[in-house]
Structure 1
């Protein structure tokens, strides 16, 4: 709603490019209770950019475009 503070729920640890209302709890405007806290029981695994256990070979945009 309008003029609310949204706080991510402790069971929603994975980032997402789309908004999912079930991952958030709304509080009154300007509520900073718990700011910076992570109350998760187990932190998510760190992201690793790998293909078959190896770092992938990246191609620059210049190589793709032929510049």
Structure 2
């Protein structure tokens, strides 16, 4: 098993207080940058791609 490479959002101005993601061949892991040893969420890659697609569309219903 390869070590995970965590990435912070480039939209976070000081590189803190954001989420970080790491990817495997089938999964996207998400964690809080302030608590890197804490809990992680795990999503299938396809579900993460769907989320990003919808997030890129911006707010809806407002």
Q: Do Structure 1 and Structure 2 share a fold, with TM-score over 0.5?
A: no
**Structure ranking higher in helix proportion:** 2
* TM superposition score normalised by structure 1: 0.25
**Structure ranking higher in strand proportion:** 2
The structure number with the bigger radius of gyration is 1
* TM superposition score normalised by structure 2: 0.27
